[in-house]
Amino acid sequence: MKQSNLMSFIESTINILVGFGIACIAQAIFLPMLGVPIPWSANFAFAAIMTVISIGRSFLLRRAFEALHIRRPLSPFMQACIAECLRQREVEGWTAEHDDDHADGSLALAGAAYAELACKRCAYNSPAGDNYPQWPKLGPNDGKPPAWWPWSMEWWKPAGFRRELVKAGALIIAEGEKFDRARKGKRRVEKATA
């Protein structure tokens, strides 16, 4: 989860104060040991300079980590969905332009079909499955797509509960990315005509 501005400010302030104190104490102890006697006024000035440099470094690294999402751990399932998105691009060769051609929402519909199949499997395999009468029992060899599957049968590839959820997630991500690209395109057109 992204850190709030207030918490970033508090963390930065505490970090700066602690760093400044450590720098002053370390310089007072180690510089004389190295044969560099330094008066307290110079010690404070040098610590202040290094603190300003540290603030800049800390800010730039924080922004870089936020931009790269390094500080946001992803669950194994989220990583699997992202890996499936990348596999679709790199192995299957599907491009953003190809996805954009699916203006009918079929990416989301296909994702929903895989999610529905996973739900049916869950109801079939769960002892509490009888509590979900809206999901018909799914037999071991029954992996047919729903009647509203948007593409030809050759593209329906059920592969087990978790894999179907991963496919559903990846297809829905592709639909969402397609939506975002279209929205950005509309903004560019609006700005150009304004």
Tell me the percentage of the chain whose pLDDT exceeds 70.
81
Residue 125 pLDDT class (50, 70, 90 cuts): low
Mean predicted lDDT score pLDDT of the chain: 82
What is the value of pTM for the model shown?
A: 0.57
Per residue in 6-24, pLDDT (tens digit) is 887 788 788 888 888 888 8
DSSP conformation class of 105 = S
Q: Is the pLDDT of residue 156 over 90?
A: yes
Helix axes 5-33, 40-68, angle to 10 degrees: 140
Q: CA end-to-end span of the chain, whole Å?
A: 36
Please say whether the dihedral angle defined by the alpha carbons of residues 125, 126, 128 and 133, taken in this order, is positive or negative: negative
Q: What is the pLDDT of residues 72-107, one digit of tens each?
A: 677 899 999 999 999 999 999 999 999 999 888 999
Q: Where are the domains of the chain?
A: 5-68, 76-193
What are the angstrom distances between the C-alpha of 61 and each of 9, 54, 64, 70, 130?
15, 10, 5, 11, 53
